[in-house]
Chain A
Amino acid sequence: MKRFETPTFERETGNYHTSRPISRVARSYQKIEDSPSLVVGTKTCGYFLQNAPGATVPAEPRYAMAEPEEGDTPAKPNDYGESKRPCPRVIGNRDPSATARTGTRTTEVIKMDLEGMAPKPESEIGVPIVVARANGPDHAFAQGEDTASAATAHRCAERDLVDKRDQPLQSPPSQGAEPSEPVTVPSANRETNPPPVPLGSLPPTVAPQSNPEPKRQSVRVWGWLPAQSYTALPPLGAGVYVCGANPFPSRTATTPMRRRKRRLIGAPSPTGPDGTRAWIEKICPASGVRTQGSKERERQVREGSKDYLDSVRGKPVFFAGDNPLEVSLARSPIRRGTVVYEIGIPYMDKRHQAAEPAPSRDTCKDVRIPVPRIVEKPDNYDQIQRMRESRPDLAITGMANANPSEARGIDTKRSVESTFAQIHGFTNARGVLQSVTRSLRRNDPGDSGWAANLVKGDNNPMQ
C-alpha cells in the first residue's frame, strides 16, 4: 500500500452551498469602524444580509442597501443621480471617514459602472468611496472580504521607509486599543527590514492578540490591513513586507505586490499552534530577527489543550467546504492525529496558499496518516453520497447540511463559526479545539446514538 501520496487536487461542479460574498463585506466593514457600507443589490441580497449576519442587524449595522427597482434594471450604467440618492442615508449622522460601495451580481449583470461613478460623489461629499465588487458569480464567501480589502489596499498611503533608514523609525500607526508604546528595536535589526503588515480582517479582540507573538520575537507589526479604522490604514511604503493572516486574501496580497512592488511573505495562516509557529518563523527572518522559543511555545500550547487533543485523535473528519479556511483548519487537526477524509474548498489559490498544502503533506507524514484529498469547487450532492459511504465522526459543513446530517447520525460542526470565531494565534488554539470537539463531546457518554439513550432510559449519561 502506498502510504504517503501527494495531495490530490480535484475539481467538481461547484454546486455547493456557501454564503454570499457580501456577508464578508458586511463583516469587514464592521471591522473598519468608521466606514459604513452601501450594498447596491436587490431584495435577495438584502434578505440574505439580514438573515446571515442575523443578530448584528438590529444593532444599527454599518451597512445599507440601495435596492434597484424594476425601472433601474435597464442599464443606465452611469446612473450617478440614482446612486447618489441613498448616500445621505448611509452617511447619516455618522461622520464617516470613508464609505464603501459594494457591487453585487445585479450591478454586474446590468453593468453598472461603480468605479466610474464613485469619484464624482466622492469629491462632492468629501468622503472617500471605496468600491468592492463582491458578487456571487465571481466569488464565494470570504472572497468578498478579499475584494474589499484589495480595494482598501489602493488607499493606503505611500511612505518610503528605506530612504529614511538613517533616521530612527517612526513608531507604527496606533492600532485600535493597542497603545503605540515606544518600540525598542535592537539597533542591530534596524538596518534589515521594516516590520511586516499582516493582511486579513481579524476580530478586534484577536488582531492585537497576535501582536504579542511577533513582539515576543521583537518584531513589530507595522499595521493591519484592513485596520480598525480607515484613518489608521497602514502606509505601504517601499520595503514593506505583507503577510496573510488568513488563507484567502490572495487578491489583497497581489495588490501591494503588483501595484506597489511590495514583497509578500508566504506563510501558512496562524491558526493552531503549529500554524502560528510556522507563521512567526516565516515573519521573523524577513525582519531579520531570529526566532526564539517558538517551538517551546507551541509545545506549551499543545500541552495546555491535551484533553481536547485526545478526544479528536484518530477520529475521521470530513470538511465539506464553504470558506477558503478549510486547508489551514484541517492542518491542525491532522497534526493531532485526526484522519481527514476530504477537504472541500471553494477555491484554492495555489500560489498564495503555497505554504499550506506543504505543511499538510509534511504533517501527514509526521503523524502517519494518509494525505487527504482536496476538492476544489465541490458538489454538495456528491459529497453527501461520499459522506454516507465513509461515515465520518465529524463533518464540518454549512448550515444547510448540518441538521440533516445530524439526523443521519453524522456529528457536524457548522463551518461558518470558523470564520467568525477567534481562531488565530497561540491564544486561541485551545478555543478552536474546544469548539470543534463540542459535538463529539455531546455524544460521548454511551455511544449508541441519542434516540436509543433517551428512549430506553437505562443508559443515563449522568451516571
Chain B
Amino acid sequence: MKPAHRMHAGPAHIGTPRIASSSKNAHATTHAPLGDDYSNVMRPMLERDRDFTPVTASTVDRHVLARGSQEEVVENTTRKGKEERPDSITPTPTCTSSILQEDLQHFVRGASITSDSDAIPADVNHYRVDESQAADGTSEQAIRHHPNKARRQGTLGRSPVNVPSANTIGTPTLGSHNQHDCRELKRSLRGIGIGINQIVPEGALIGNPHNPPKARFNPVPHREVGLMAAVYSDEEFGTPCISTTPAGIVETAEWIRQTQERVGKRSPASLEEKVDHELYIDQQTRSVSQAARSPRSIDRQNSVGKRAVVFGDATHATAMTKVPSREMGIRVCRAGTYCKHDAEWSNEQARGFCDEIPVTDDHTEVGDTIGRVEPPAISGTQMERHVGKRLDIPRGVTPSPVHIQNFPSGYRPFPGYEGTNQIADSVYNPHTLGTEDHLPDIFGGHDIEGVTESLPTEQDSLIRNPESQLKPSQIPRSVRGKTKVKTEESARRNGITNITIEVIYAAREILGTR
C-alpha cells in the first residue's frame, strides 16, 4: 500500500470519458459504484459545458458485489443506446470492476447484439495506467476500430486527398488550454496551406471512419494523449506523425519544417512543387510573435539569469524548460515531470537546459525541492501553485492538473506563434517588474503599513463582551471585518451598548453577513 493524498494524474476511468466526451455523439458508461461518475462534474464545471456530459455510470451496488453485475451492464448500455442514440458506446472499467474481475468484453458483446451503437470496451487497467495513458489508449482504440470497420465494409479511403491536409490527434476535453491549442494548430496549419482532415478525438469516434488515412500526416501536439493513435496510423496506413510540440519560436519553426518534409513524402508526383516555408517562419517570428522581440527589449533585462523551477507533464515541462532557457535567458534549475512512463524522453529533451531533472509523482518531494532551491518563480501545476503560495514564491500554472482559472474564456493557446506570446507572458508575469525590483532595495522595502490599515475607529461607548471577542476567530477571515462593522452598526442603531454573542448573531440574521 502506498501512502498518498494528492496526485498529479487521475485514475484511468477519467481518461477514457475524456476521449468519449470530446467526440460528437459518443458515450461512455463506467462500471462504477455510486459517486464515481465525477468526470460528469469536472467537465461541466471546469469547461463550463452547456451539454450534459455523455458519461453514465452503470452502478455497482451491494447486489453487484454479491452476485456480479449479470445483465446490468448490458441493460445500461442498451438503454443508453436507445436514449441517446450515440454512434459508439465505450463501457469503461474502474478500479472496482478491475478487482471484481468481471468480463467486460463479454458484456459488451452481449450489448452490441441488442444495441444499434458500436460498443467498444475501453481496454484500460486501473492498476497499470493513469488518466493520460488511458486517454491515449482509448484514442488509439477509436482510430483502430472505425477504419477497421470501414475496411470490412470496403469503404476505407486510403489515398491522400490532393489538397494537403492533416489530422490533429490529441487535445481532448479537460486538458489545460486544449480547446485553444486545437484552434491554434488549425490556424498554424492553414497559415502554411494545409487543411484539416479530421480532429481526433472530435470526429474520429464517429462520422467518416474511412477518413483518417486520407491525411498527409498526423501532428500530435501533446505527447501524453494521441501518440499511440498516431503511431498506429503510421504503421497501418503509412501516415507519418509529427510528435514535436510547436511551443516556443524554435520548436514552432522546427515543426513547420517537419510538416514541409512530411507533406512532400506522401504527395503525388504531379503535385510535387517546391514549397519553402522559411520566408513564412521569418515573417511570423518577426511580426506575429512578440516573444522574439520581448526578451530583447530593455525592460526584460532584469529577468535574465533569474532562476525558475518547472514541473508538469512531459510536454509542458519540457517546453517550459526549453523555451525560457533557450529564448529568454532564464536559468531553469529544476525541470521535473510526473509522467514516469515517459521519463526517458523528458530527460533527453530537458538535458542541457536545466541543472537537474527530478522525475516523481510525489507532490511532497516536489514541494521539498522547491523549498530547497527557493527560486524566484515557479512554473507548474495547481499543486506547485499551492507550494508557491505556502512559500510565498510567485508562480504560473500551465500543465494539468489545473483548476477552473486555467480554462480561460479568452484565447490562450500554448502552441504556435500566438502560443509563443502566451508562454512569454506566463514566464514573465510572475517576475517582479524592473523598477519594482530595484526601488524597494533602495528604499528598504514596500511601505505597506499604514496604507492598508483602516481609519482608527472612534472610541465609543460600546462595550465588547469578552465572550463576543472570542467569536470573531470563528468567523471566516474574509468576512470578519464586515461582520464587525455591521454588528456595531446595528448595535448603535438599536441602542445596544453591550455587544454579546447574541448581538453578533442577531446582526447576522438581519444583515445576512456572508
B5/A48 in contact, CB under 8 A: no
Residues of B within 8 A of A42 (CB): 11, 95, 126
A455 interface contact, C-beta 8 A: no
A70/B127 in contact, CB under 8 A: yes
A67/B35 in contact, CB under 8 A: no
A280 interface contact, C-beta 8 A: no
A399-B44, A400-B52 are known contacts; what are 18 more A-B pairs with Cβ within 8 Å?
A15-B57, A16-B34, A20-B33, A43-B126, A46-B5, A51-B41, A67-B2, A85-B1, A136-B33, A138-B61, A208-B474, A384-B52, A400-B44, A404-B44, A406-B50, A422-B514, A429-B509, A434-B512
B282 CB, nearest partner CB in chain A, Å: 42
Residues of B within 8 A of A389 (CB): none
Residues of B within 8 A of A168 (CB): none
Given contacts A43-B10, A301-B509, A431-B512, contact A404 B49 (CB under 8 A): yes
19 contacts between A and B (CB under 8 A): A16-B34, A19-B38, A20-B38, A44-B95, A44-B126, A64-B3, A66-B3, A72-B1, A73-B127, A82-B1, A83-B1, A90-B3, A109-B65, A204-B474, A381-B56, A381-B83, A403-B48, A403-B49, A431-B508
A276 CB, nearest partner CB in chain B, Å: 11
Residues of A within 8 A of B250 (CB): none
A156 CB, nearest partner CB in chain B, Å: 24
Alpha-carbon separation in the docked complex, A456 to B149 (Å): 49
B505 interface contact, C-beta 8 A: yes
Given contacts A43-B10, A43-B126, A105-B96, contact A66 B34 (CB under 8 A): no
Count of residues in A whose CB is under 8 Å from the partner chain: 80
Residues of B within 8 A of A301 (CB): 509
Residues of A within 8 A of B127 (CB): 69-70, 73
Most chain-A CB neighbours within 10 Å: which of B10, B32, B99? B99
Q: Which of B5, B7, B35, B60 contacts A61 (CB 8 A)?
A: B5
A407 interface contact, C-beta 8 A: yes
B52/A46 in contact, CB under 8 A: no
A177/B473 in contact, CB under 8 A: yes
Nearest A residue to B48, CB-CB: A403
A372 interface contact, C-beta 8 A: no
Alpha-carbon separation in the docked complex, A140 to B403 (Å): 25
Alpha-carbon separation in the docked complex, A438 to B14 (Å): 32
A136/B36 in contact, CB under 8 A: yes
B99 CB, nearest partner CB in chain A, Å: 5
Interface residues of B (CB under 8 A from A): 1-7, 10-11, 13-14, 32-38, 40-42, 44-45, 48-53, 56-57, 59-62, 64-65, 76, 83, 94-96, 98-100, 126-128, 130, 383, 386, 389-390, 403, 467, 470-471, 473-476, 501-502, 505-506, 508-510, 512, 514
Given contacts A204-B474, A212-B505, A434-B514, contact A403 B6 (CB under 8 A): no
A400/B53 in contact, CB under 8 A: yes
The 9 residue pairs across chains A and B that have the minimum distance between CB atoms: A136-B33, A20-B35, A407-B50, A86-B3, A58-B386, A400-B40, A70-B127, A403-B44, A42-B95
Q: Which of B14, B37, B62, B99 contacts A110 (CB 8 A)?
A: B99
A361 interface contact, C-beta 8 A: no
A77 CB, nearest partner CB in chain B, Å: 13
Q: Which of A58, A70, A404 contacts B51 (CB 8 A)?
A: A404
Residues of A within 8 A of B2 (CB): 66-67, 69, 86
* Contact string against B for A residues 1-31, beta-carbon threshold 8 Å, 1 for contact and 0 otherwise: 0000000000000111111110000000000
A50 interface contact, C-beta 8 A: yes
B50/A63 in contact, CB under 8 A: no
A222 interface contact, C-beta 8 A: no
A304 interface contact, C-beta 8 A: yes
B3/A85 in contact, CB under 8 A: yes
B52/A404 in contact, CB under 8 A: yes
A64 CB, nearest partner CB in chain B, Å: 5
Nearest B residue to A404, CB-CB: B52
B399 CB, nearest partner CB in chain A, Å: 16
Task: Scan residues 381-400 of chain A and give those whose CB is less than 8 A from a CB of chain B.
Answer: 381, 384, 398-400
Task: Scan residues 420-463 of chain A and give those whose CB is less than 8 A from a CB of chain B.
Answer: 422, 426-431, 434
Nearest B residue to A63, CB-CB: B5
Alpha-carbon separation in the docked complex, A72 to B3 (Å): 13
Alpha-carbon separation in the docked complex, A204 to B100 (Å): 40
Residues of B within 8 A of A285 (CB): none
A399/B45 in contact, CB under 8 A: yes
B502/A136 in contact, CB under 8 A: no
B51 CB, nearest partner CB in chain A, Å: 6
Q: Which of A49, A208, A431 contacts B514 (CB 8 A)?
A: A431
Alpha-carbon separation in the docked complex, A427 to B502 (Å): 10
Given contacts A57-B6, A304-B509, A430-B510, contact A44 B45 (CB under 8 A): no
Residues of A within 8 A of B95 (CB): 42-44, 106
Given contacts A212-B501, A399-B44, A431-B512, contact A109 B35 (CB under 8 A): no
Alpha-carbon separation in the docked complex, A168 to B4 (Å): 50
Nearest B residue to A44, CB-CB: B11
Residues of B within 8 A of A422 (CB): 514
Alpha-carbon separation in the docked complex, A61 to B174 (Å): 25
Given contacts A46-B7, A50-B5, A51-B42, contact A141 B35 (CB under 8 A): yes
Nearest A residue to B389, CB-CB: A58
Q: Which of B13, B33, B386 contacts A105 (CB 8 A)?
A: B33
Nearest B residue to A14, CB-CB: B59
B10/A106 in contact, CB under 8 A: no
A69/B1 in contact, CB under 8 A: yes
B34/A44 in contact, CB under 8 A: no
Q: Which of B41, B51, B61, B510 contacts A304 (CB 8 A)?
A: B510
Residues of A within 8 A of B53 (CB): 400
A18/B34 in contact, CB under 8 A: yes
A125 CB, nearest partner CB in chain B, Å: 15
Alpha-carbon separation in the docked complex, A427 to B508 (Å): 7
Residues of B within 8 A of A47 (CB): 7, 10-11, 14
Given contacts A51-B42, A177-B473, A381-B83, contact A137 B502 (CB under 8 A): no
Residues of B within 8 A of A205 (CB): 474-476
Q: Which of A51, A58, A63, A82 contacts B38 (CB 8 A)?
A: A51
A89/B3 in contact, CB under 8 A: yes
Task: Scan residues 106-139 of chain A and give those whose CB is less than 8 A from a CB of chain B.
Answer: 106, 108-110, 135-138
Q: Which of B35, B130, B501, B512 contacts A136 (CB 8 A)?
A: B35
Residues of A within 8 A of B7 (CB): 43, 46-47, 50
A174 interface contact, C-beta 8 A: no
A209 interface contact, C-beta 8 A: yes
Residues of B within 8 A of A137 (CB): 33-34, 60-62, 64-65
B49/A48 in contact, CB under 8 A: no
A109/B99 in contact, CB under 8 A: yes
